[in-house]
Amino acid sequence: DGGITQSPKYLFRKEGQNVTLSCEQNLNHDAMYWYRQDPGQGLRLIYYSQIVNDFQKGDIAEGYSVSREKKESFPLTVTSAQKNPTAFYLCASSRRGTMFDQPQHFGDGTRLSIL
Amino acid sequence: GENVEQHPSTLSVQEGDSAVIKCTYSDSASNYFPWYKQELGKGPQLIIDIRSNVGEKKDQRIAVTLNKTAKHFSLHITETQPEDSAVYFCAATAGGSQGNLIFGKGTKLSVKP
């Protein structure tokens, strides 16, 4: 079955440490996204990529970095510059459209906590 | 920028009743309005969406209505079942050059048997 796989499901970060969250999709989608979800809040866009080797900052990109070397993969690094990294991180993908107007399909998330 | 308000934040209904969740948006250029269902510990799942050139869309027990003039859209679930219990999110595309999806804060729906 086609879908989006996020790993790991749970991740713990020590102070001053960078951690990388994995996101892989086999839906043949061009566009991929990273969102952050905090308790009682909607999803907020961190980064997105409409095509390989290109990505754009979302609304809350500070303290995060991404790469898009392959169509199937869009890893997110949470750097030590992100002072409040504890959250549920969601990856999504979609067909490439205009102005985010294509249905987005989500993975089951990675929960990141601070040790 | 775009702002999406979602009400109510919690909703409890008896099995078999209908449930309605409402969202308002601020950007008149918004053109795509998806609804997502999120179960505990899972990612959101798209359940229905509507585009700005359509006023209503149905899929079995689920329907969405859009009022562009008033800038609000609603999710209607009929004949609710316990498995409908989840958090529901609405979203709208922001206008302008970036145009990313802006999400509401969610509605926790509980369906009591």
B43 → closest Cβ in A98, A99, A106: A106
Angle at CA of residue B24, ends B18 and B30, nearest 5°: 120
CB contacts of A49 in chain B (<8 Å) are none
B44 → closest Cβ in A40, A48, A106: A106
Segment B24-41 shows an average pLDDT of 93
Quick: pLDDT tens for B41-95: 999 999 999 998 889 999 999 999 999 999 999 999 999 999 999 999 999 988 7
Q: In this complex, do A59 and B100 lie within 8 Å of one another by their Cβ atoms?
A: yes
At A104, phi and psi to the nearest 5?
A: -100, 135
Contact assessment for residue A91 and residue A3, using Cβ atoms and an 8 Å cutoff: no
Q: Provide the pLDDT confidence category of residue B100 given band limits of 50, 70 and 90.
A: confident
CB contacts of B46 in chain A (<8 Å) are 103-105
pLDDT of residue A102: 86
Quick: pLDDT tens for A61-104: 999 999 999 999 999 999 998 989 999 999 999 998 766 788 99
A101 → closest Cβ in B32, B41, B89: B32
Interface residues from chain A to B (CB-CB < 8 Å): 4, 6, 40-45, 48, 56, 58-59, 90, 92, 98-101, 103-109
pLDDT of residue B98: 59
Q: Which residue has the tokens 């269902």?
A: B37
Does the CA dihedral B51-B52-B53-B57 come out positive or negative?
A: positive
B41 contacts chain A (CB < 8 A):
yes
- With a cut of 90, say whether residue A107 has pLDDT above it: yes
What average pLDDT is seen over chain A?
Answer: 92
- With a cut of 80, say whether residue B32 has pLDDT above it: yes
Kindly calculate the radius of gyration of chain A based on its CA atoms and give it in whole angstroms. 13
Q: In this complex, do B99 and A104 lie within 8 Å of one another by their Cβ atoms?
A: no
Quick: pLDDT tens for A6-21: 999 999 988 889 999 9
Nearest-CA distance A28 → chain B (Å):
18
At B85, phi and psi to the nearest 5?
A: -60, 125
Nearest-CA distance B60 → chain A (Å):
19
CA distance B89 to B42: 13
CA distance A50 to A68: 10
Q: Where are the alpha helices (DSSP H) in chain A?
A: none
